[in-house]
């Protein structure tokens, strides 16, 4: 079998601007989009993709953009990794679908075996596959409820878990995710998060104080015995790339264990090498009862999973879990190709190297730029939080202006955060170091002009 190649030879790994951004063909397509696609479906950049791979996205006008977004943390192996394309294409030619619940196929089982090997903990594990992250989170809650016979679900400030009815209820941020879309699912309780930069008494005591508040609130307001699951992102994604203060996750996991609560790590954004480990929980030695995955799992094809303790996963009656497309064979083949690529190219090491380069460059910028309130993240999941200089007041306008300036120069960056004031950097883990540095230079220039 040929070694997987992350970067297609036919796609030059360079930034190249041949028109204004967006170019004329993208403008034409945007006009068609406006007429045919619901306005509720927004785009970060009005630029239409033609090809993508490695660290670049080539648009329909022939511009080549540096990708610091990975399609929202999805294409960690690039958008056209050789092993993903080869395995998915072979599967596509064999069959596209039978429905695993009708006549099963090996790829689904092989993905579940990989998930059992790769997720934290040496216990017996099983998995079930779905189509999207939100669907995985919904199913984790179903499993926790049926296994415990309890109903309440505990989530956190700044958390993001999806856009379906239950996951909107689990998600913290109103605009744009929830506004006007209620009523939301009941029995969801939101707790304070150990957010070091914004913790009132400072970062030192943040983990301890936040954990004490959480356990006290659960005891007093919910009753630990009523809680089916605690659902948390080990590094928060849409809520602002917040790394909970060290010690917070282990404390919450220990509390869950002591009270028979299912501890669910939502690793949909942070999993699969993104933070320099297979799963972000590993940074603190936390072993979750259930792990939800999606995004990076399948090199861009839609696939999601719930993986966890076999006795929990087996609590649902036969036929209680599933879905027509869940674990589609082409998506499973792509996942096996993505995992092969992650192993062979040691993408955990690549993510750690990306963190070094980003910290080095942005750390220096931070000294010179008082608008950068915080620089944080793990691995290739890094961000800067922008504030009004001399304060901690969030500055979403600065984030939007910086993003727009980067976009105009051919760098794809995304914003996030409860206050919309965080610029996040999620390059494909296979990006070349020269492109990474060029992207950071563009960002540095934009910050200097702020
Ligand atoms: C993106 C995301 C989801 C939702 O995944 P979809 O595939 O968009 O449904 C859930 N949780 C986290 C942490 C995410 O980043």
Q: Which ligand 1 atom lies nearest to the CA of residue 133?
A: 5
Ligand 1 in contact with 138 (CB < 6 A)?
no
Stretch(es) of the chain classified as CATH 3.90.1150.10: 24-77+346-448
Q: Which ligand 1 atom lies nearest to the CA of residue 73?
A: 15
Return the pLDDT at 88: 98
Q: Which ligand 1 atom lies nearest to the CA of residue 269?
A: 15
Q: Which ligand 1 atom lies nearest to the CA of residue 304?
A: 7
Instruction: Tell me, letter by letter, the H, E, C secondary structure of the chain.
Output: CCCCCCCCCCCCCCCECCCCCCCHHHHHHHHHHHHHCCCCCCCCCCCCEEEEECCEEEECCCCEEEECCHHHHCCCCCCCCHHHHHHHHHHHHHCCCCCCCCCCCHHHHHHHHHHHHHCCCCCCEEEEEECCHHHHHHHHHHHHHHHHCCCEEEEECCCCCCCCHHHHHHCCCCCCCCCCCCCCCCCEEEECCCCHHHCCCCCCCHHHHHHHHHHHHHHHHHCHHHEEEEEECCCCCCCCCCCCCCCHHHHHHHHHHHCCCEEEEECCCCCCCCCCCCCHHHHHCCCCCEEEECHHHHCCCCCEEEEEEHHHHCCCCCCCCCCCCCCCHHHHHHHHHHHHHHHHCCHHHHHHHHHHHHHHHHHHHHHHCCCEEEEEEECCEEEEEEECCCCCCECHHHHHHHHHHHHHCCEECEEECCCCCEEEECCCCCCCHHHHHHHHHHHHHHHHCC
Ligand 1 in contact with 133 (CB < 6 A)?
yes
Architecture of domain 83-344: 3-Layer(aba) Sandwich (3.40)
Ligand 1 in contact with 432 (CB < 6 A)?
no
Q: Which ligand 1 atom lies nearest to the CA of residue 132?
A: 7
| 295 Cα to the center of ligand 1, angstroms | 7
- Which residue's CA lies nearest to atom 6 of ligand 1? 133
- Provide the residue-wise pLDDT of the chain in tens; the chain has 450 residues: 344 456 666 799 999 999 999 999 999 999 999 999 999 999 999 999 999 999 999 999 999 999 999 999 999 999 999 999 999 999 999 999 999 999 999 999 999 999 999 999 999 999 999 999 999 999 999 999 999 999 999 999 999 999 999 999 999 999 999 999 999 999 999 999 999 999 999 999 999 999 999 999 999 999 999 999 999 999 999 999 999 999 999 999 999 999 999 999 999 999 999 999 999 999 999 999 999 999 999 999 999 999 999 999 999 999 999 999 999 999 999 999 999 999 999 999 999 999 999 999 999 999 889 999 999 999 999 999 999 999 999 999 999 999 999 999 999 999 999 999 999 999 999 999 999 999 999 999 999 887
Return the pLDDT at 6: 62
Ligand 1 in contact with 114 (CB < 6 A)?
no
Ligand 1 in contact with 131 (CB < 6 A)?
no
Ligand 1 in contact with 268 (CB < 6 A)?
yes
- pTM (global) more than 0.85: yes
- Which residue's CA lies nearest to atom 5 of ligand 1? 133
Return the pLDDT at 3: 42
Return the pLDDT at 4: 46
Ligand 1 in contact with 134 (CB < 6 A)?
yes
The fold adopted by the segment(s) 24-77+346-448 is: 3.90.1150
The answer to whether 281 and 252 are in contact (CB under 8 A) is no
Task: Indicate the top mutation candidate among 41, 70, 137, 302 to test ligand 1's pocket, ranked by most ligand atoms within 8 A of CB.
Answer: 137
| 157 Cα to the center of ligand 1, angstroms | 16
Q: Which ligand 1 atom lies nearest to the CA of residue 237?
A: 15
Left if phi > 0, otherwise alpha if psi is -120 to 50, otherwise beta: which for 4? beta
Ligand 1 in contact with 280 (CB < 6 A)?
no
CB atoms within 10 A of CB 430: 25
Among 161, 165, 93, 164, which residue's Cα sits nearest to residue 333?
93
Ligand 1 in contact with 155 (CB < 6 A)?
no
Ligand 1 in contact with 269 (CB < 6 A)?
yes
Ligand 1 in contact with 156 (CB < 6 A)?
no
Stretch(es) of the chain classified as CATH 3.40.640.10: 83-344
Ligand 1 in contact with 160 (CB < 6 A)?
yes
CB atoms within 10 A of CB 219: 13
Cα(155)–Cα(232) distance, integer angstroms? 6
CB atoms within 10 A of CB 82: 21
Return the pLDDT at 118: 98
């Amino acid at each position: 079998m040929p070694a997987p190649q992350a970067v297609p030879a036919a796609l030059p790994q360079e930034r190249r601007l041949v028109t204004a951004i967006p170019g004329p063909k993208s403008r034409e397509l945007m006009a068609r989009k406006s007429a045919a696609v619901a306005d509720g479906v927004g785009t970060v950049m009005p630029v239409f993709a033609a090809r993508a791979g490695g660290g670049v996205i080539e648009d329909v006008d022939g511009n080549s953009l540096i990708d610091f977004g990975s399609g929202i943390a999805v294409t960690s192996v690039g958008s056209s990794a050789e092993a993903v394309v080869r395995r998915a294409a072979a599967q596509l030619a064999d069959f596209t679908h039978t429905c695993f619940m009708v006549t099963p196929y090996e790829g689904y089982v092989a993905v579940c075996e990989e998930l059992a090997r790769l997720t934290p903990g040496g216990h017996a594990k099983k998995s079930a596959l779905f189509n999207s992250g939100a669907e995985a989170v919904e199913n984790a809650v179903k499993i926790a409820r049926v296994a415990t016979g309890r109903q309440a679900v505990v989530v956190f400030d700044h958390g993001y878990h999806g856009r379906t009815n239950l996951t909107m209820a689990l998600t913290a941020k109103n605009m744009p995710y929830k506004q006007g879309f209620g009523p939301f699912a009941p029995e969801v309780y939101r707790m304070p998060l150990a957010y070091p930069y914004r913790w009132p008494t400072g970062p030192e005591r943040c983990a301890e104080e936040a954990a004490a508040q959480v356990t006290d609130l659960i005891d007093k307001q919910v009753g630990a015995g009523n809680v089916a699951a605690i659902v948390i992102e080990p590094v928060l994604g849409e809520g602002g790339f917040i790394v909970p203060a060290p010690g917070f996750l282990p404390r919450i996991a220990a509390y869950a264990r002591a009270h028979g609560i299912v501890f669910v790590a939502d690793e949909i954004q942070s999993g699969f090498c993104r933070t320099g480990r297979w799963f972000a929980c590993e940074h603190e030695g936390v072993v979750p009862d259930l792990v939800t995955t999606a995004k990076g799992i399948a090199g861009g094809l839609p696939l999601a999973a719930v993986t966890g303790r076999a006795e929990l996963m087996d609590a649902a009656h036969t036929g209680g879990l599933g879905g027509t497309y869940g674990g589609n064979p082409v998506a499973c083949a792509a996942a096996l190709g993505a995992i092969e690529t992650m192993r062979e190219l040691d993408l955990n090491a690549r993510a750690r190297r990306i963190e070094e380069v980003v910290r080095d460059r942005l750390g220096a910028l931070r000294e010179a730029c008082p608008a950068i309130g915080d620089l944080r993240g793990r691995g290739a999941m890094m961000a800067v939080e922008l504030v009004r200089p001399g304060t901690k007041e969030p500055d979403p306008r600065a984030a939007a202006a910086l993003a727009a300036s980067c976009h105009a120069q051919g760098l794809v960056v995304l914003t996030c955060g409860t206050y919309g004031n965080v610029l996040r950097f999620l390059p494909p883990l296979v990006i070349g170091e020269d492109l990474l540095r060029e992207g950071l230079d563009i960002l540095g220039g934009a910050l200097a002009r702020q």
